Structure 1
Amino acid sequence: MDEMTRLRELRAGAPVPDRAALAPGRKRLTDAIEGRGRRTFRLRADWRIASLGAVVAITAAALVLTQVVGVQAPDPASPATVAGDLDLSSPAAALGQAADFLERQEVPPEPRADQWIYLREEDPYQEKQWKELPAEVRKKMDWSYLPDSWIPYDDKAAENDASDTDHQTARASYRIAAGLPEDPEALLAELRKVFPTGDGSNGAPEAENEHSFRALTVLLESYPLPPDALARMYRALATIEGVGVTDHLIRDATGRQVIAVTRAYDRNTRREILIDPVDYSYAGDREVVTRTHEVTGPKGTITIDHKRGDILREVARTKAAVVDAKGQKP
């Protein structure tokens, strides 16, 4: 029995992602194993797309399950005070406030073709797994936990890779964002064309709102984005059916207080897009259990309890900058 069939048995109760969602996950995993630079400007791989062995190993050890931490009343030194009075009463209020702020910012020049994008993205679960591996095992592996990455802004090789239709380079992402229309409906329609869904042959096709959310959040992960374009994206994000916002700041993987924009992934989990409450930049994402349930492997090999509030996956982007050379840090 192949790995994907076994994985479908493990997640039989969840919607099956279509080809558009599966392909980039497999490509990112292959890139990581072969030691290539991380491609951040594309569909983020779903944690469910890893091989069954990886899912079991990571879940058993890393899901020492973490409860969501809410911050109901920020102290005087909190980001909310720095950013002003945050309105988290609704997605329209929160994202509209972010858009108003971004529209007042000066648009910096587009990066040069010879520059690099530096990102630091911290993943405590992957880091824990890496550190717990015996040294002799780590030496034999072709990958390691590296929170720092450098991506060429003008990546011609990736831009000309016709085999991966879901990938967009840093430069392409910047220009796609800069050219987005003002009208939210038209903006979402454009992004659905840029990041197309599958034909349904590999699972149920995405509904329009699901597709819009995925496409927009793929571009949202790109860096840099013109502030006025990001403002248009936030206004459009607020119009997608099912999008919500927590009514308080939450703490991310590094302990920072951030805004969480949410949407259900399936009946058991939701995706949370994290936004910095000071400058409204993309700050990471995570997946949170919304309904207590069990996940059982093929033929009862392993059963894992997921409780409401458990965090299954989280990544915190703590730094992002345009630099002049690979290896350079701001």
Structure 2
Amino acid sequence: MDDLTALRELEADVPALTTDARAAGRARLADAMEREGRRTGLLSRRLVLRTSFTALAAAAVAGTVVVAKGGPDGGTGGRTGGSMLSAAQVLHRAADRTRADGAGTKVPRNDQYLYAMEVCTRTPLKGGKQTTHMDEFWISVDGSRLSRYVYNGRVKDEPPEAHSVQWPPTEYAKLAKLPTDPEGLLRELGHGDLATELDEQSAYMDLVMLMRGPRVMPPGLQAAAFEALAELPGIVLEDDEVDALDRHGIGVSHRRQSFGPVFERDTYAYLGLRTEGVKGARPVGKELVGGEKYIEVRALVKSGVVDGPGQRPR
């Protein structure tokens, strides 16, 4: 199930975005990470996303977990173009690329739609059939009109009153209010103080999930997110990642997490997101057992602004 599908299905019990909610969510996130890390080395995906998004008023997916890396050490760098680059350097180059690509982009009208097409590939780690499907999204720019979501051929039209996803925002106007400098963006998301590793992990999740929202962002916002990620001490480089379209690139992740963005090796263009997880794990006492481990990679194929659902940018 797609994260945004889950957000819409579970949003009924989502609280409003408040300072208290942010603080409470971060506290639950810290407690959950500590307890789950000690017990199993696995961090419940529902728990991770619920606690992170509760701080920012959203929800998560039941029945799946994201694998958290248990050790303090991860990949420390990768080789690209014959030279060693750090994760921070890759993110800064990706920020430069997206900032240049977004220069001169027109602000969409309120009556238009943010469009994106993605290909998603899920590969079981212990053998089994790899599955691939395509998703498309038509999201009302100002949230006042019907939006359309197509997941693996299943069409779902939603009127404005059907949902209100607080994080990541879906309305362009709300995205446009977010700071386009990394320090300001971190402060706005409630992560001005990265005193502990748990603070850092919470910031990492919020920044990466920002990329899982509307795939059309105001100029400078995605660049700011990449630069904010570059400031986190725990980020690491995955030297060779392959997206759902078999494009080889460079991945960035956190040493304690197993999901993150993938960039084209030579141009640093953003390709999509990679996640390691477990489907079908069930709680037995205080443990999570069973399930099928997998790697899921989403490749952004096309994005843009169109005049109505069903239309696609040229």
* TM-score normalised over the length of structure 1: 0.56
Q: Provide the residue aligned with 2:105 in structure 1.
A: 108
Is 2:286 the counterpart of 1:312?
no
Amino acid at match of 2:118: E
Q: Provide the residue aligned with 2:232 in structure 1.
A: 240
Helix, strand or coil for the counterpart of 1:258? Answer: strand
- Structure 1 unaligned segments of length 5 or more: list them: 1-7, 27-41, 57-71, 74-79, 133-144, 195-204, 290-294
Deviation at 1:125, TM superposition (A): 3.1
Q: Provide the residue aligned with 1:189 in structure 2.
A: 187
Deviation at 1:213, TM superposition (A): 0.8
Amino acid at match of 1:92: A
Is 2:92 the counterpart of 1:90?
no
Whether the aligned pair in 1 keeps the contact of 2:97 and 2:269 (CA below 8 Å) is no
Flag the structure with higher strand content. 2
Number of aligned residue pairs: give it: 238
Deviation at 1:108, TM superposition (A): 0.7
Deviation at 1:236, TM superposition (A): 1.5
Q: Counterparts of 1:21 and 1:206 in 2: how far apart (Å)?
A: 17
Q: How does 1:119-268 map to 2 (within 5 A)?
A: 119-125=116-122, 147-156=135-144, 164-177=165-178, 179-180=179-180, 182=181, 184-192=182-190, 207-221=198-212, 222-246=214-238, 248-265=239-256
Distance 1:263 1:21, change over 3 A: same
Amino acid at match of 1:116: Y
Q: Provide the residue aligned with 1:328 in structure 2.
A: 311
Deviation at 1:44, TM superposition (A): 8.4
* TM-score normalised over the length of structure 2: 0.58
Helix, strand or coil for the counterpart of 1:168? Answer: coil
**What whole-Å deviation, never above 9, does each CA across 1:184-224 have from its counterpart, x for those lacking one?**
33321212379xxxxxxxxxx99210111112112233322
Higher radius of gyration, 1 or 2: 1
Distance 1:212 1:165, change over 3 A: same
Whether the aligned pair in 2 keeps the contact of 1:192 and 1:215 (CA below 8 Å) is no
Q: Provide the residue aligned with 1:29 in structure 2.
A: none
Helix, strand or coil for the counterpart of 2:297? Answer: strand
Q: Provide the residue aligned with 1:5 in structure 2.
A: none
Whether the aligned pair in 2 keeps the contact of 1:116 and 1:324 (CA below 8 Å) is yes
Larger RCO: 1 or 2 (CA < 8 Å, sep 6+): 1
Q: Counterparts of 1:264 and 1:233 in 2: how far apart (Å)?
A: 18
Q: Counterparts of 1:225 and 1:151 in 2: how far apart (Å)?
A: 12
| Aligned alpha-carbon RMSD (Å) | 4.6
Q: Provide the residue aligned with 1:200 in structure 2.
A: none
Distance 1:225 1:121, change over 3 A: same
Deviation at 1:296, TM superposition (A): 7.3
**What whole-Å deviation, never above 9, does each CA across 1:47-72 have from its counterpart, x for those lacking one?**
xx333xxx59xxxxxxxxxxxxxxx9
